[in-house]
Homo-oligomer: A and B are copies of this chain.
Amino acid sequence: MLQPFMHILNAQRIVLASGSPRRKLILENIGLNIEVMPSTFEENLDKAKYTPPDYVVQTAMFKTQEVAERLSQSGMVPDLIIGADTVVSQGNEIFEKPRDKKDAVRILSQLSNCSHTVYTGVVLYVPSTSLLMSKGSTALNGAYRCTSFVESTSVHMAHLSQDVINAYIETGESMDKAGAYGIQAIGGTLVEKINGDYFNVMGFPLARFAKEIASLYEGVTN
């Protein structure tokens, strides 16, 4: 979807406000040149106060804002800042990265043989002087305007025996990932099926992002 705008996008300075190597990979795989600037926001919102989709958008918003302010203070406002946050949720429970191996066992045991939902909130910041988002976005105090969206994907896990859970955790894939699994490598053998965008499960909803970006740039270039 982004190919017709790629020459414009790649003439711009685009900052990814996330340290996730998977988000970087997804965006680079479609040919985008991005700069990575991980946020220092602590991700400590009270989960009891939010639904999962509200939680990821709010966390992505704080992450992006922190990076945007840092860039603004340095006098280097880029053309686009992309922030994102991903959680795994089952019922009302939100799972982030496991605290330790024991926590990873708890999470994977709970996800075994059931469906769960992966939510990713994405926040886009552009300079307030940009032609992008001149309509329908939120003007922020200062240098930026922003827009956001959330994407959900349903994931059905296979039945995981304790042997499989323990052996999987020993591969080292669990610890830095929401829900204690990564779908893109060994964890892919644990997932029976998904309903939605695969890349959203990896941490970034690619198709929806492409659609949103295309509609922003269409508005400017047409």
Where the two chains meet, the residues of A that have a C-beta atom closer than 8 Å to any C-beta of B are 1-4, 6, 26, 29-31, 153, 158, 160, 163-164, 167-168, 170-171, 183-186, 188-199, 206-207, 209-211
Task: Say whether A3 contacts B188, CB under 8 Å.
Answer: no
Task: Say whether B185 contacts A207, CB under 8 Å.
Answer: no
Contacts A183-B198, A185-B29 given; does A190 touch B158 at CB 8 Å: no
Contacts A183-B198, A194-B198 given; does A189 touch B164 at CB 8 Å: no
Task: Say whether B1 contacts A211, CB under 8 Å.
Answer: no
Q: Which residue of chain B lies nearest to A154 when distances are taken between CB atoms in the complex?
A: B195
Task: Say whether B189 contacts A30, CB under 8 Å.
Answer: yes
Q: List the B side residues contacting A193 at CB < 8 Å.
A: 153, 195-197, 207
Shortest Cβ gap from A30 to chain B (Å): 5
Partner of A158, one of B158, B167, B207: B207
Q: Which residue of chain B lies nearest to A201 when distances are taken between CB atoms in the complex?
A: B198
Task: Say whether A206 contacts B189, CB under 8 Å.
Answer: yes
Closest 9 CB pairs of A and B: A3-B167, A189-B210, A198-B198, A29-B185, A1-B189, A195-B195, A188-B206, A193-B196, A30-B186
Q: List the B side residues contacting A167 at CB < 8 Å.
A: 3-4, 6
